[in-house]
């Protein structure tokens, strides 16, 4: 039988053990609560930090978008017309290479594509309007040219003849500018010609310019070197524009030298001036314009637009010609080289169809010229050492290559004939000095007076002039 003191001691021990167990559980529970509270505080601080980071990133994104809208888009639109304009980058360099940076760059690319497309549409509309306007202007100028040349044939007063020739030459300047504008705007060259000597196309371009007497053409081609019909007018336009640039950017007391040479792939027309030249940037811009490989918008031609180089680029692309402006001239200015390829070249019989009397004589012809000439194939008189300061229309008369004679059957109507023999200069004699415009006009006036007198003396029936 268990005694009461032993039972009390056992209960006390059990209670003490239970108290220790409960105390340990309570302590562990408190520790767990404290640990959970610490974790909650840490999570709360992390959430607050995340909220702050989200706010900072959000503000950075908003600043980038505002920078894109205010600065970058406007600069990209301006750069579409002015490639030298620099487009600002993102505000934060860290954005580059991220998804945000790629998205912002995509917006700029879309803006550039839209602006470029709109500029092309506006440019096409402007070209169409200018083509219509230049067509009407050209038609009026051609009518005026016909009227002026009719007056030149009608009146024989020397002073009036000189004035008419000056007006005709001024009209030719307006025609050239209208034609160049039309070509830049995509119109056809406007004239269809038959096959012609290449030297005639070069001198034809020269005759369209103010200051044409400063140009010296040296013809080193074989006699009879010609252009196919569809290349005559483009070559004349290109030569005229290259010569115009050379004359405008060189001193009025200097010469512009033109050399016609045979090349392996065709014929080269080299133009050298002694002007101010071009720096590297200007030369690169000019070469891009004349190359014709990139489309040129009217808004890129300046204000007022400079059409000459753009017209050359249009023609080089359309007719498979080549123009190079990359080399400086040995005279300190600019060297321009036009290459006419072999498939644009032809050949004419120089005896059956000689070049114009005012065209420079071929040096090869001069070297190979025999002492006597077969009947019906007379040699042209030697070209003077310097160009005559009279309009090109007077050159055939002033050089004596075209004369007016009475018909052998007694009919007094004047006939246009080429000389039957060459005019030989004495070996000791120096070339005759060039005529002044007044002397040339007086000579033409006297010629027209004789023509009018012969017509008035001729019978009126069955003798109407052609």
Which distant-in-sequence residues (6+ apart) come within 8 Å of 448 by Cβ? 153, 155, 156, 161
Q: Which residue has the higher pLDDT, 367 or 6?
A: 6
CB 107 within 8 A of CB 68: yes
Q: Minimum mean pLDDT among 26-40, 275-289, 370-384: which range?
A: 370-384
Are 181 and 199 members of one domain? no
Distances (CA, A) of 332 to 125, 127, 240, 270, 276: 41, 37, 21, 15, 7
Has residue 376 been placed in a domain?
no
Residues 42 and 133 in one domain: no
pLDDT tens-digit series, residues 140-160:
998 998 999 899 888 888 889
211, 150: one domain: no
Closest CA to 163 of 445, 395, 446: 445
Q: What is the pLDDT of residues 181-191, one digit of tens each?
A: 889 988 887 66
CA distance 193 to 323: 22
Q: What is the average pLDDT across 51-62? A: 72
pLDDT of 176 over the 80 cut = yes
Task: Assess if residue 30 is contained within a domain.
Answer: yes
**What three-state secondary structure class fits 460?**
coil
The predicted structure's pLDDT at residue 30:
78
Are 313 and 248 in a shared domain? yes
Q: 202 and 238, same structural domain?
A: yes
Q: 340 pLDDT exceeds 50?
A: yes
- CA dist 180 and 301 (Å) reads 13
pLDDT band at 457 (very low <50, low <70, confident <90, very high): very low
State yes or no: pLDDT of 362 exceeds 70.
yes
Give the CA angle between residues 149, 153, 158 to the nearest 5°.
Answer: 100
Sheet bearing 335-341, strands edge to edge? 215-219, 256-263, 266-272, 335-341, 322-324
- Looking at the structure of the chain, the number of domains it has is 3
User: 254 exposed, middle or buried (CB, 10 Å; 0-12, 13-18, 19+)?
Assistant: middle
45 with 140, same domain: the answer is no
Q: Is residue 113 part of a domain?
A: no
Looking at the structure, tell me whether residues 232 and 332 fall in a common domain: yes
Q: Of 42, 64, 86, at which residue does a domain stop? A: 64
* Range(s) of the domain holding residue 177: 125-187+390-408+438-454
Give the start-end residues of each E strand in 84-201.
196-197
Indicate whether 151 and 297 sit together in one domain: no
Residues 355 and 213 both lie in one domain = yes
Of 261, 277, 260, 360, the residue nearest 325 (C-alpha) = 277
Least confident stretch, 106-120, 282-296, 359-373: 359-373
Neighbours of 466 (CB within 10 A): 3
**DSSP notation for 352-417:** TSPPPTTSPPPHHHHHH--SS--TT-PPPPPPPSS--SS-GGGHHHHTTSEEEEE-TTS---EEEE
Q: Which helix (H) or strand (E) holds 218?
A: strand 215-219
Q: What is the pTM of this model?
A: 0.62
Chain length of the chain: 466
pLDDT for residue 425 is more than 70: no
pLDDT per residue as tens digits for the range 192-210: 678 999 999 999 889 888 8
Distances (CA, A) of 343 to 137, 226, 375: 34, 11, 34
**Residue 464 maps to a domain:** no
Whole-angstrom distance, CA of residue 106 vs CA of residue 438: 69
pLDDT tens track for 307-326: 889 999 999 999 999 999 98
Q: Is the pLDDT of residue 370 over 70?
A: no
Of 308, 174, 320, residue with least CA distance to 242: 308
298 touches 305 (CB < 8 A): yes
Tell me: the pLDDT tens digits for 35-52?
A: 887 888 788 777 777 766
In a domain, 380, yes or no: no
Same domain, 182 and 217: no
Torsional sign, CA 277, 281, 285, 290: positive
- Structural tokens at position 150: 């009719």
Instruction: Judge whether 378 lies within some domain.
Output: no
**Which residue from 253, 165, 245, 239 is spatially nearest to 200, judged by alpha carbons?**
239
C-alpha dist (Å) from residue 465 to 77, 196, 412: 66, 27, 11
Are the C-beta atoms of residues 225 and 266 closer than 8 Å to each other? no
In a domain, 111, yes or no: no
C-alpha torsion sign, points 426, 430, 431, 432: negative
- So what's the pLDDT on residue 394? 41
268 and 229 within one domain:
yes
CATH of the domain at 274: 3.30.565.10
Asked if residue 347 is part of any domain, the answer here is yes
The DSSP result for 295-308, as a single string, is ---GGGGTTTT--H
Tell me: do 178 and 200 sit in the same domain: no
């Amino acid at each position: 039988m268990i005694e009461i003191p032993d039972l009390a001691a056992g209960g006390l021990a059990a209670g003490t053990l239970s108290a220790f167990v409960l105390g340990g559980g309570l302590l562990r529970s408190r520790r767990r609560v404290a640990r959970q509270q610490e974790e909650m505080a840490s999570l709360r601080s992390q959430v607050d930090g995340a909220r702050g980071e989200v706010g900072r990133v959000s503000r950075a994104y908003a600043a980038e978008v505002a920078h894109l809208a205010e600065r970058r888009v406007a600069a990209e639109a301006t750069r579409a017309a002015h490639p030298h304009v620099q487009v600002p980058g993102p505000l934060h360099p860290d954005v580059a290479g991220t998804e945000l940076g790629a998205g912002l760059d995509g917006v700029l690319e879309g803006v550039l594509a839209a602006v470029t497309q709109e500029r092309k549409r506006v440019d096409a509309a402007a070209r169409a309007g200018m083509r219509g306007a230049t067509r009407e202007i050209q038609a009026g100028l051609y009518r005026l040219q016909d009227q002026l040349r009719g007056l030149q044939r009608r009146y024989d007063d020397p002073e009036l003849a000189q004035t008419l020739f000056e007006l005709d030459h001024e009209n030719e300047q307006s025609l050239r500018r209208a034609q160049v504008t039309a070509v830049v705007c995509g119109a056809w060259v406007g004239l269809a010609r038959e096959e012609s000597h290449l030297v005639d196309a070069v001198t034809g371009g020269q005759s369209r310019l103010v200051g044409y007497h400063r140009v010296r053409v040296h013809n080193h081609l074989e006699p009879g070197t010609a252009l196919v019909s569809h290349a005559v007018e483009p070559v004349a336009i290109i030569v005229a524009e290259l010569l115009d640039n050379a004359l405008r950017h060189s001193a009025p007391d200097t010469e512009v030298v033109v050399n016609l040479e045979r090349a392996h792939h065709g014929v080269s027309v080299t133009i050298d001036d002694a002007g101010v030249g071009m720096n590297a940037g200007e030369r690169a811009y000019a070469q891009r314009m004349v190359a014709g490989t990139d489309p040129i918008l009217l808004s890129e031609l300046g204000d007022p637009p400079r059409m000459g180089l753009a017209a050359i680029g249009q023609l080089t692309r359309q007719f498979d010609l080549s123009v190079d402006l990359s080399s400086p001239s040995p005279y300190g200015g600019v060297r321009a080289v036009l290459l006419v390829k072999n498939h644009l070249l032809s050949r004419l019989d120089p005896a059956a169809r000689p070049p114009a009397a005012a065209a420079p004589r071929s040096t090869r012809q001069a070297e190979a010229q025999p002492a006597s000439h077969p009947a019906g194939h007379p040699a042209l008189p030697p070209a003077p050492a310097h160009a005559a300061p009279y309009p090109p229309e007077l050159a055939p008369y002033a050089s004596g290559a075209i004369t007016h004679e009475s018909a052998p059957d007694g009919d007094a109507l004047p006939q246009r004939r080429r000389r039957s023999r060459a005019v030989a200069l004495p070996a000791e004699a120096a070339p005759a000095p060039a005529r002044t415009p007044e002397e040339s006009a007086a000579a033409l006036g006297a010629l027209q007076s004789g023509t009018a007198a012969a017509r008035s003396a001729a019978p009126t029936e069955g003798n109407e002039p052609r």
